[in-house]
Amino acid sequence: MNIREDFLPLSRPSIGEEEVRAVVACLKSGWITTGPVCREFEDRFRELTGASHAISLSSGTAGMHLMMLALGLKEGDEVITPSLTFASTINMITLCGARPVFVDIHYDSLNINADLIEEAITERTRAVIPVHFAGAPADMDKIMDVAGRHDLAVIEDAAHALGTAYRGIHAGGFGQSAVFSFHPLKNITTGEGGMITLSDDQVERRVRLLRFHGIERDAWKRYGKGGTPEYDISEPGFKYNLTDIQAAMGLVQLARLEKLNERRRKLAALYTEGLIDLEGIDIPGIPPYPHVHSWHLFVVKVTGMAREAFMKKLADYNIGYGIHFPACHRLGYIEKSYGIMEDNLRETVRVGDRIVSLPLFPDMKDSDVLYVCEAVKEIVSNG
Ligand SMILES: *Cc1c(COP(=O)(O)O)cnc(C)c1O
């Protein structure tokens, strides 16, 4: 086959004239940091997820950090999560002084195996953080059930789950809490940004305070006509707020979410069709329960050759790729603190050096997917 001349990236944000107009309108409005546009973005998010509260933030990582603090996570606590997740979650658990406890995943969907959570629970366990991996929901009925019986908090890592639903409920709508991300790779973007959805009124109050220095009222209310510029701080907080400039972009992106995801679904179906019978490549498995998949990523497992050689060949064909994610139990500081923890992580280890994310983004053409499929076929048959 002919090698394409231009590079096909792993991902590219889909940003149109409408986003540009919304950002420019905000820039000209006289208020550009956290204010009414962030509020509107939060309102739309409550509608999307069905959660009682939504709080916009500077990143998903900031959201994880604040949720953990608001839940009172501290030295000596344990948090259950898969090893196959983004390192930021493990970093935040560690920075709170707590310890990550890794539970194995399903080979097919790469989601946490909810049947294994109970045996990982100890007296120190405080929370479970499942990931809706690549946009396929984790088994939330089982997770909420085991968490409920042991009085554990649940924080869904919904960074991949914009548009993901489980048995008719959108990610973030299960009555506890969830964290979304608007990093440029995610299904919608604000450049950088994040959102917490949650149900508890007191936790919401605490998160809002911790988000902005611990100061009681929003700045745009303090500086408005007749505002009250005094403030008090009862607990020191962070600087984790989203700006109205970013929220303006997010509102347009959110209105386009269904269309963007429809396009992702179509491309994923093309990938599946093109690669399903190919020996040496395992395509993503689909969870058995009713769900809506947001197809954030298309992660294959390379079984027919070494992954490193496979990725090198993809580069020769001018195709981008990613690894989501390097397993967190192998991160240097984790191994140094806890030793090698692979006994209960059979499937994680099995996929660890096999997973590769192929290009997937809404502005990709059908012919781009067909090109990648052809290239992958050539690579594994010569590999
Ligand atoms: C992107 C991502 C995050 C972190 O989100 P940021 O907005 O980049 O901080 C957390 N978890 C997962 C699974 C992610 O993919």
Name all domains of the chain by residue range, CATH numbers in brackets: 17-255 (3.40.640.10), 257-382 (3.90.1150.10)
Q: State the chain's mean pLDDT as an integer.
A: 96
Angle at 7 between CA 5 and CA 10, to 5 degrees: 155
Instruction: Please report the pLDDT score of residue 220 as a whole number.
Output: 67
Instruction: Please report the pLDDT score of residue 226 as a whole number.
Output: 80
Instruction: Please report the pLDDT score of residue 227 as a whole number.
Output: 78
Among candidate residues 190, 135, 162, 259, the one with its CA nearest the CA of residue 15: 190
Closest ligand 1 atom number to CA of residue 133? 13
Residue 5 alpha carbon to ligand 1 centre in Å: 32
CA–CA separation, 251 vs 98, rounded Å? 35
CA torsion 30-34-36-40 (nearest 10°) is 140
CA–CA separation, 124 vs 98, rounded Å? 10
pLDDT in tens, 212-229: 999 976 666 767 778 778
Residue 337 alpha carbon to ligand 1 centre in Å: 23
Among candidate residues 79, 97, 68, the one with its CA nearest the CA of residue 206: 68
Residue 311 alpha carbon to ligand 1 centre in Å: 23
Closest ligand 1 atom number to CA of residue 61? 9
Q: 29-33, 52-56, 224-228: which has the minimum mean pLDDT?
A: 224-228
Instruction: Please report the pLDDT score of residue 216 as a whole number.
Output: 77
* Residues with active-site annotation: 186
CA–CA separation, 340 vs 362, rounded Å? 39
Question: Residue 232: which pLDDT band, with cuts at 50, 70 and 90?
Answer: confident
Residue 84 alpha carbon to ligand 1 centre in Å: 12
pLDDT at 281 > cutoff 80: yes
Hey, whose CA ends up nearest to atom 6 of ligand 1?
60
Residue 91 alpha carbon to ligand 1 centre in Å: 12
Closest ligand 1 atom number to CA of residue 296? 15
Instruction: Please report the pLDDT score of residue 218 as a whole number.
Output: 66
More confident residue, 121 or 223: 121
Residue from 59, 79, 86 whose mutation best tests the ligand 1 pocket (most atoms within 8 A of CB): 86
Tokens of 80: 């259950």
pLDDT at 145 > cutoff 80: yes
Closest ligand 1 atom number to CA of residue 324? 15
Q: What percent of the chain has pLDDT over 90?
A: 94
Instruction: Please report the pLDDT score of residue 225 as a whole number.
Output: 79
Hey, whose CA ends up nearest to atom 15 of ligand 1?
159
Extract long-range pairs of 276-283: CB within 8 Å, 24+ residues apart.
Answer: 278/376, 278/377, 278/380, 279/304, 279/380, 280/304, 280/305, 280/380, 280/381, 280/383, 281/376, 281/380, 282/354
Residue from 83, 131, 132, 157 whose mutation best tests the ligand 1 pocket (most atoms within 8 A of CB): 157
Residue from 183, 324, 360 whose mutation best tests the ligand 1 pocket (most atoms within 8 A of CB): 183
* For residues 350-370, average pLDDT: 98
Handedness of CA 284, 286, 287, 293 (dihedral sign): positive
Residue 86 alpha carbon to ligand 1 centre in Å: 6
Instruction: Please report the pLDDT score of residue 230 as a whole number.
Output: 84
Hey, whose CA ends up nearest to atom 5 of ligand 1?
60
Which residues lie with the beta carbon below 6 Å from any ligand 1 atom? 59-61, 85-86, 88-89, 131, 157, 159-160, 181, 183, 194
Residue from 59, 67, 88, 180 whose mutation best tests the ligand 1 pocket (most atoms within 8 A of CB): 88
Residue 158 alpha carbon to ligand 1 centre in Å: 8
Q: What percent of the chain has pLDDT over 70?
A: 99
DSSP one-letter string for 253-303? HHHTHHHHHHHHHHHHHHHHHHHTT-TTEEPPP--SSSEE-----EEEEE-
Q: 42-56, 206-220, 271-285: which has the minimum mean pLDDT?
A: 206-220
Closest ligand 1 atom number to CA of residue 192? 7
